[in-house]
């Protein structure tokens, strides 16, 4: 049995000088339109005009293109500009649903340079990809072929901090099989000393290199391998709903938390579970997994972070992380029966905000668009 799922295939490519110049112009226009729309939406709300939606933002884009100041927006493909408005709409949707913080302005130096193209803005023919406003196909290094009979439905081009160009093709793949049912369940505790600890007692470290680009590549590769293995081996996977967005505000832990890639791990685990017919249970973030004795259920009075091994009054000695993972598994399985302390998996997590007081006032200083 197979199901049709959306899969992304990422490749490196090497643009000509003309293609690179066109893409850099497009990146700049995408960033400009996003910031203009974000400012307009924020001003409309703070001035009591209500929330602007995608349709209103699209009308503003049309008006901006007709002005002398922003006439240069007509020089690039209109599709990436419309797509960035859709991305902004999605960002606001996540904010109002309390899954993310209020959208922030894009910075030329710090934000990811990318542009998204839908079917009307690229041509896919005989394994060659040509973007709008370009006469030649991209020189893509096809490190692996697309599945037979599959064509991209959208394309995203990006430039990373190391100066490398990438193209990601989103495809609807009907060939992904549902994995055979297994009788295995696993509880997963995510931490800083180890990427994760399983209820079986196994621990996985995050392997990284020294150069930042290599770190990102190795981290993603390691996470893909770990999540694929966990999904293949287990029918049910139980994790905690960690509030990463709030935790990284602790400046002493922010770098370690970000390096541990908790959010990326969860996203991979959830979409792969959806692909292959597995179940992910997400525990409430306030569940005291580290403090409870997994043998007798008695909570410890205190559990400072520096304590890694402890002994319960019942005489059971615990490794902190393994004990937490076992408690996570037990609570997740109990929740499947009574429905308490857990909720269905969702695609994104973030800061629990969203009321009107959280909307920031516009920065009066200069914003780098």
Q: Which residues are catalytic?
A: 189, 240, 321
Handedness of CA 357, 363, 367, 369 (dihedral sign): positive
Give the sheet arrangement for strand 185-190, strand by strand: 203-204, 196-198, 185-190, 236-240, 279-283, 342-344
Nearest to 294 by CA among 175, 189, 182, 203: 189
d(CA 324, CA 329): 9
Q: CB of 156 within 8 A of CB of 121?
A: no
d(CA 344, CA 366): 42
Q: CB of 282 within 8 A of CB of 343?
A: yes
Burial class (CB in 10 A: 0-12, 13-18, 19+), 112: exposed
Q: CB of 314 within 8 A of CB of 296?
A: yes
State the CB neighbour count (10 A cutoff) for residue 255: 10
What angle do helix axes 17-46 and 78-96 make, rounded to 10 degrees?
Answer: 40
Helix boundaries (H) for the chain? 17-46, 54-65, 78-96, 212-233, 244-247, 254-260, 262-276, 320-338
């Amino acid at each position: 049995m197979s199901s049709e799922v959306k899969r992304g295939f990422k490749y490196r490519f090497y643009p000509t000088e003309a293609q690179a110049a066109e893409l850099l112009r497009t990146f700049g226009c995408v960033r400009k339109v996003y910031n203009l729309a974000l400012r307009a939406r924020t001003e409309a709300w703070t001035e009591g005009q209500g929330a602007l939606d995608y349709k209103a933002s699209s009308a503003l884009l049309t008006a901006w293109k007709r002005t002398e100041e922003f006439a240069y927006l007509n020089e690039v493909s209109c599709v990436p500009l419309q797509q960035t408005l859709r991305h902004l709409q999605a960002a606001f949707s996540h904010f109002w649903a309390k899954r993310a913080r209020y959208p922030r302005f894009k910075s030329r130096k710090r934000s990811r340079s990318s542009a998204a193209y839908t079917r009307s803005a690229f041509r896919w023919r005989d394994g060659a990809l040509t973007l709008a406003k370009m006469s030649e196909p991209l020189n893509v290094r096809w490190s692996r072929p697309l599945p037979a009979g599959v064509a991209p439905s959208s394309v995203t081009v990006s430039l990373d901090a190391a100066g490398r160009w990438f193209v990601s093709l989103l495809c609807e793949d009907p060939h992904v099989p549902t994995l055979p049912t297994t009788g295995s369940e696993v509880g997963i505790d995510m931490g800083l000393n180890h990427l994760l600890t399983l209820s079986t007692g196994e621990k996985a470290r995050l392997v990284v290199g020294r150069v930042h680009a290599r770190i990102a590549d190795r981290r993603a590769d390691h996470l893909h391998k770990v999540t694929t293995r966990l999904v293949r081996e287990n029918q049910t996977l139980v994790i905690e709903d960690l509030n990463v967005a709030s935790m990284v505000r602790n400046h002493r832990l922010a770098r370690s938390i970000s390096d541990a890639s908790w959010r990326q791990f969860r996203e991979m685990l959830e979409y792969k579970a959806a692909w292959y017919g597995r179940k992910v249970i997400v525990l409430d973030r306030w569940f005291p997994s580290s403090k409870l004795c997994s043998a007798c259920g008695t909570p410890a009075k205190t559990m400072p972070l520096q304590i890694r091994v402890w002994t319960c009054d019942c005489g059971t000695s615990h490794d902190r992380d393994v004990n937490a993972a076992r408690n996570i598994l037990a609570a997740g399985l109990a929740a499947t029966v009574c429905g308490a302390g857990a909720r269905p998996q969702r695609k994104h997590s973030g800061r629990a905000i969203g009321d009107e007081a959280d909307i920031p006032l516009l920065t009066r200083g200069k914003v780098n668009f």
